[in-house]
Amino acid sequence: MWGLSHTPQQRRIEVVTEVFGGIRDGITWQPYIQPGRDAVDVHWLYTAQDTGPDGAEAYIARFRPGAHGDLHEHLGYELMVVLDGELINDNGDQYLPGTIVVERPHSIHRVTSPGGCELLVVREKRTVPLPPGATPDDGLALTAVRKPVALDPVAPQATA
């Protein structure tokens, strides 16, 4: 087909389609059991059981209205894509559908979703729950949001 000799191997592939705007069918949800996490369900794509002791994992998360994750520290990078709804970070940032959020190693935060949301989450390493009273970091999260470009309607004119 591409000019190379290759025999496709049997492998397990999981495909989830139509993820933007809310996942309705074909997903098996499980409660996410973790200290300080409430009203969050997940569909695991892979877990630390699949990837080894560092704890890399990927999942689709469904935060039911009012759901939250208590204060925790990221031991590695985490990439989140908001698929539906709104996620709110403890610093006040609001993430809407189409937003990509990258938490850096050692970032500390907590999240909530008053109206509910769905996310794709990919973690390089696990997180560690922190006790009440620990302090969130001052901005180790990177956010990429698709925003319209505002053009200045009164641009300076070139002079001769």
| DSSP codes, 11-61 | ---------TT---SS---EE---TTEEEEEEEEEE-HHHH-TT--EEEEE
Instruction: Evaluate whether 19 touches 42 at the Cβ level (below 8 Å).
Output: no
pTM of the model: 0.76
> pLDDT 10s digit of each residue in the chain, 160 long?
456 677 777 877 777 777 787 776 778 899 988 777 789 999 999 988 888 887 899 999 999 999 988 888 999 999 999 999 999 998 889 999 999 999 999 998 889 999 999 999 999 998 888 877 666 665 555 555 554 444 444 444 444 4
Residue 82, beta-bridge partner list: 119
The Cα–Cα gap between 69 and 92 comes to 15
